[in-house]
Structure 1
Amino acid sequence: MKGTRAEKGKKADAKLSVKKKAAEKPKPVKRGSKVAKDPNKPKRPPSAFFVFMEEFRKTFKEKNPNNRSVSVVGKAGGEKWKTLSEAEKAPYVAKANKLKSEYNNKMNAYNKKQAEPHKKPAAADDDEEESDKSKSEVHDDDEDDDEDDEEEEDDD
């Protein structure tokens, strides 16, 4: 025979434990709770292929003015890109690298601007501490005066 009853029972237990584990998984986060995007953040630069596609779309539309399908243009551009040699791709790669370096510069400036509002000057911190102390001291003094008045009334 193929297996004993004990072996079959182990297989069934293994299957049950898998089902239990699947049921215990936490629920996924709802899709509606996205973080708002900052409109001032620079957009990512296009890759060499997309730089090529900008030019290719223009030439393709001139040759095929009746074609209205985006998918046909994309497929034709992909096929053309695959057939290009490294030397033919070089100008597109160079332009993409230039756009990427410009993007990196913009991102560095953007990140510096984002970090600045969170920093507080040292003088502002000192003023806040003093104001907190003065508030608590005034509040403590008021409580002490109230307690002293109550004690005097009790003595009478």
Structure 2
Amino acid sequence: MPKARTNVKAADNRLSRKDSGIGTKKAKKKAAPKDPNKPKRPPSAFFVFMSDFREEYKKENPNNKSVALVGKAGGAKWKSMSDAEKAPYQAKAEKNKLAYDEDIRAYNKGLNEGGDSDKSKSEVNDDDDDEEEDE
């Protein structure tokens, strides 16, 4: 009669929870929701170029439905361009970045002014009412 259970212990060791790491990780906390009022980052010079390039490419190739082909063609053209040809796109990207910097400073300033206290506005007003009653 053949032995049926020669490697039972080896198989059991591979399936044990301690060895495999199953269920040993802590649950991750959910990320805080993104603020829809926060300014979006400006596009880089390449993406400014790509917005113009896409329009030209669509005019030249109206039957093209592939986004990948447009991206590859744009990337190849960007690499082949000289610094002088890239300069207008880089200037526009820099202008957009400066505007973004101003917007984000104003946004952060608004957060700091409005969020200094853990108390809600009603609680702050309640404290003011209590002080007036004491006088």
Please confirm whether the aligned pair reaches a TM-score higher than 0.5, indicating the same fold: yes
Instruction: Structure 2 unaligned segments of length 5 or more: list them.
Output: 1-17, 118-122
Q: Give the alignment's Cα RMSD to 1 decimal.
A: 3.0
TM-score computed with the length of structure 2 as normaliser = 0.68
TM-score computed with the length of structure 1 as normaliser = 0.60
Partner of 2:47: 50
The one-letter code sitting in structure 2 at the alignment partner of 1:38 is: D
Out of 38, 61, 64, the residue aligned to residue 64 of structure 1 is 61
Residue 75 (1) aligns with residue 84 (2) = no
Query: Matches of 2:112 and 2:76 in 1, distance apart?
Result: 44
* Higher-Rg member (1/2): 1
**1:30-79 deviations in whole A, cap 9, x for unaligned?**
6xx23211111100000000000000000000000000110110010000
Residue 128 (1) aligns with residue 120 (2) = no
Instruction: Structure 1 unaligned segments of length 5 or more: list them.
Output: 1-19, 135-156
Q: Calculate percent identity across the aligned residue pairs.
A: 54
Greater fraction helix: 1
Cα pair distance change 1:114/1:84, threshold 3 Å: same
Q: What is the CA-CA distance between 1:117 and the residue it aligns to?
A: 1.4
**Secondary structure of the structure 2 residue equivalent to 1:116:** helix
Residue 101 (1) aligns with residue 117 (2) = no
Partner of 1:29: 28
Q: What is the CA-CA distance between 1:119 and the residue it aligns to?
A: 3.3
Partner of 2:10: none
The one-letter code sitting in structure 2 at the alignment partner of 1:36 is: P
Runs (4+) of structure 1 moved beyond 2 Å? 25-28, 127-132
Partner of 2:6: none
- For these two proteins, the number of residue pairs brought into alignment is 109
